[in-house]
A and B are shown apart, each in its own frame.
Chain A
Amino acid sequence: MLVLNLIEALTNALDVSMAADSSIIVYGEDVGFEGGVFRATKGLQAKYGVDRCFDSILAESSIVGSGIGMAINGLKPVVEIQFSGFVFPAINQIVTHAARMRNRSRGLYTVPMVIRMPYGGGVRALEHHSESLEAIFAHTAGLKVVIPSTPYDAKGLMMAAINDPDPVIFMEPKRIYRAFKQEVPEGIYEIPIGKAKIVKPGDDLTVVAWGSMLRDVQKAVEILEKEGHSIELIDLRTISPIDRETIITSVQKTGRFAVVHEAARSFGPGAELISIVNEGAFLHLEAPPTRITSVDTIVPLPKGEHHYVPSVEGIVAELRAVLTF
């Protein structure tokens, strides 16, 4: 067993995968020589050579667009978008091509590639460095969207993403890149894409979260459980394809539902989750399903960020309202 933080687990996942499969190519801005601005690809160029881990040109559309061609021609590219807020120049390639090539060619050409991107706030960064864009990708047919919340999951989900036959948007919670360490197996293992994880079982309320918010929700749950409530906490792990079954089964048991996310509120992932709950567990509900989210403003610069993202205290207050409805 290794003891790694989340970003070390990702580096290890890439390392172990590249050692096992010479078709895996890793690149992006500053990814090669430096190992990426967060060091996710540290040491890979030295170990695997400049053909397999390299600095791209500074052009996001090229990073994704060239990856599509590589994937069609037998490689498995794992590319990095330096921050998710910089992905917009590549959106055309992601949405109009990566997501559609299989359908457009009726399965003749496919795009097994991973598009990594650190997402979310909490690192006191400049504008465009703090976005949570999972809803945009999850709304696009043909993409899978994965967000790990622990080092163990990060490695297992990354290996599943690399071996997935379709394009995977792999969003990394950069706020917790180095927040804590965990035991991580040395070798190859996969965590299936499309399966949520019940972090802890409970009877009174189902709470769904993912990525960096999961840690804050765990703290909120601990506070509420000391008050005598029993809460089932689910880590969604995959935003798309979403695990309806785990959520519906849980809410049918608990009768109450809340989703917590860092993404903006309106048309966000919480809206989809509440629809799932309404479709699958409406007659079991004892309180209105609730979303606890960031607000619908532009993501503020660091001095205003605390107004934007749900706090532990805010999560506690809103969950308590659902529990006592």
Chain B
Amino acid sequence: MFIEKFDPLKDDMIQILDPSGKIVDTANMPALSEAKMIKMYQTMRESRIIDEKTLQYQRQGRMLTYAPNLGQEATQVGSASALRQTDWVAPSFRELGVWLTKGAPLDKIFLYWFGNEEGMKMSEDIRILPVSVPIASQLQHATGLAYAAKYRKLDDVAVGYVGDGGTSQGDFHEALNFAAVNALPNVFIIQNNQFAISTRRALQTKAPNLAAKALAYGMPGVIVDGNDIFAVYAVVSEAVERARRGEGPTLIECYTYRMGAHTTSDDPTVYREEMEVDPWRGKDPIDRMYKYLVAEGLWSEEQEDAFVRETADRVKQTFETVEKSGFTPLEDIFDYVYAERTPILEAQYQSRKAFYEKEGK
């Protein structure tokens, strides 16, 4: 168990699986079934394949702006794997691994990034709020989800994701403060990928690390190796169970690195050198788990090749189907502003429709 004894002012970092694929903290290795471990690995691998293919599609002019998750797969899949299905997630916009782990269908995810809100209409049991672009604002929603769960005597937990830049926002402070004051069943996960677009983590705060901010709210703060899926899973599991027991929120800083660009509109070569990025390739979260699974006899090169091939085909087919979906129907932009169209929206809809009909569109 980590949370009660962790002191973020000492600037330690919890690690279970080291970059070479060795378990360095056997005592705290989470008790995961083989099937679950393989599923977690496959989800990370799938996330990376989706990212790589989506970046290709974007360069080919077939996809809109996209925020890749490269390098952050363990933080995302590890944390979401610690949730049960009824737990809530309030994401920002770089959480593909969380969506996949929670069971969100890829065609919906693609449809959203392809430019259609219909993609965010998941089935209710996915329990992830839609992509939230205003930085850190979603953490406030996580507190309300948690308040409602507690009030309704449901033992669901609400997890909010934010980046290192997001910790500078007022909403980060307000959300953590409200959650702590009311002992809400929340877990706040910082994906510290070292960059807010181009701005480095050191320019966001003079605090020794981001987890230390928890102390001011009277909640535990923990730093975990965000590229170590076992450590992320173990710490988040503990925080989730703590929240479920009514012991209040936890702040977890997952220390990781954004291997790709902020989005496809960003060029990281402007603000960072390859020699800075390169050491992080040796800490890759997927390679690390691959080595572990192979050494344990749970996965093989043949299985890897087959999985990558099958997944790449499926991703390609899914995207090609989404690509044929065309434009958003006129009705869709009018029908979800309010529960019912207002008279003014109805008039505007009819006016647009009549114009299209007249023009033969």
Contacts and interface: CB of A to CB of B under 8 A. Distances in A.
Interface in A90-138: 92-93, 96-97, 101-110
A252 interface: no
Contact of B137 (A65, A105, A108, A244): A65
Interface string A52-68: 00001101011011111
Interface stretch (A8-16, A70-78, A262-270, A291-299): A70-78
Contacts, number: 148
Contacts of A258: none
A162 interface: no
A68 B144 contact: yes
Contacts of B232: none
B357 interface: no
Interface stretch (B147-155, B265-273, B306-314): B147-155
A62 B144 CA distance: 9
Contacts of A75: 147-148, 151-152
Contacts of A110: 339
Contacts of B335: 107
A54 to B, nearest CB: 8
Contacts of A222: none
A30 interface: no
Contact of A241 (B144, B177, B343): B343
Contact of A61 (B90, B147, B174): B174
A62 B118 contact: no
A71 B144 contact: yes
Contacts of B130: 101, 104-105, 108-109
B301 to A, nearest CB: 41
A32 interface: no
Interface residues of B, number: 46
Contacts of B337: 102-103, 141-142
B178 A62 contact: yes
B144 A106 contact: no
Interface in B183-240: none
Interface string A78-98: 000000000001001100110
A59 B88 contact: no
A123 B95 CA distance: 49
A57 B178 contact: yes
A65 B141 CA distance: 5
A82 to B, nearest CB: 16
B178 A69 contact: no
Nearest to B347: A244
Interface in B315-350: 332, 335-339, 342-345
A101 B342 CA distance: 17
Interface string A194-233: 1000000000000000000000000000000000000000
Given A107-B336, A109-B130, A165-B338, 20 more contacts: A25-B147, A57-B177, A61-B171, A62-B140, A68-B140, A68-B141, A69-B141, A69-B144, A70-B144, A70-B145, A73-B149, A75-B148, A96-B133, A96-B134, A97-B137, A102-B339, A104-B130, A108-B121, A142-B338, A241-B338
Interface of A: 25, 51, 56-57, 59, 61-62, 64-75, 77, 89, 92-93, 96-97, 101-110, 141-142, 144, 165-166, 194, 241-242, 244-245
Interface of B: 88, 90, 117-118, 120-122, 124, 129-134, 137, 139-149, 151-152, 158, 170-171, 174-175, 177-178, 181, 332, 335-339, 342-345
24 contacts: A57-B174, A57-B177, A57-B181, A59-B178, A61-B137, A61-B171, A62-B143, A65-B139, A65-B144, A66-B144, A69-B90, A69-B141, A69-B158, A74-B148, A74-B152, A93-B140, A97-B137, A103-B336, A105-B130, A106-B121, A107-B121, A107-B336, A241-B343, A241-B344
